Amino acid sequence: MMTIKLKIDKQDIEVPEGTTILEAARMLGIRIPTLCHHEALKPYGACRICLVEVRAGTARASTLVASCVFPVRQGLEVTTDSDEIREVRAGLLELLLARCPGSRQIRELAGEFGVHETPYTPRDHLCILCGLCVRVCDEIVGARAIDFSFRGQALDVKPPLLTPAGTCIACGTCTTVCPTEAVKLEEIARVPYGHAVSETHPGERCRVCGTHPTKPEFPANYDDWFPK
């Protein structure tokens, strides 16, 4: 297997080709914050909070890349913490703080970067649209019970085509990967995170975490899932 040599925060490391910068940094014990990444799922690159500076070969200028999706390259020099990186992450966190002012996880991460308030108009979401729940339901569970619906500011996680597909087995896996605890098993059968829990399926525990013993109450009326 071909290996790649690079430097991360001035430390030399040699890793297999195809490794991402985030994975290589973690091998060195370097922490890079992430929100939309999970090691069990394919890289996605949605939140950009994991950005780092990279400089290739003799290039003078560095550029910012999302470390969770950027594969290592021969001779790359990576910096995971700098004034510019902290400034961009702070800007992203101001936006997330405006979207999810009630999220403990977002407030804590924002605090790490000195962001305690936001210049943007606050909303009342908990979901940061990272897509982890959608991807785990597709890639690991195979149920595809949820997906992104609508566009722009209305973008949200819902059952595909807003139609109860009956493929959700209430395993609760989506609740274990959500970085903001926006989706809870007790609520997945209700607005706003109606996941199309099957009316006839008895419900199953996730084979990995197995923390959710019971199926949530099934909604009496599908029309109640989506406000008119």
- Residues of this chain that interact with ligand SF4 (CB under 6 A) are 127-133, 157, 177-180, 182-183
Residue 37, contacted partner among ligand FES, ligand SF4, none, CB below 5-8 A by kind: ligand FES
Q: Which of residues 7, 9, 41, 45 is near ligand FES by CB under 6 A?
A: 45
What six digits make up the tokens of 1? 């297997």
Give the nearer residue to ligand FES in terms of CB position, either 48 or 89. 48
The reply on whether position 146 binds ligand FES by CB under 6 A is: no
Q: For residues 212 and 186, is the Cβ–Cβ distance under 8 A?
A: no
The reply on whether position 136 binds ligand FES by CB under 6 A is: no
Q: For residues 80 and 32, is the Cβ–Cβ distance under 8 A?
A: yes
The reply on whether position 35 binds ligand FES by CB under 6 A is: yes
* DSSP state at residue 79: E
How far, in Å, CA of 186 to CA of 205, rounded?
Answer: 14
How far, in Å, CA of 10 to CA of 163, rounded?
Answer: 52
How far, in Å, CA of 25 to CA of 159, rounded?
Answer: 36
Residue 66, contacted partner among ligand SF4, ligand FES, none, CB below 5-8 A by kind: ligand FES
Contact residues for ligand FES (CB under 6 A)?
A: 34-37, 45-50, 66, 68
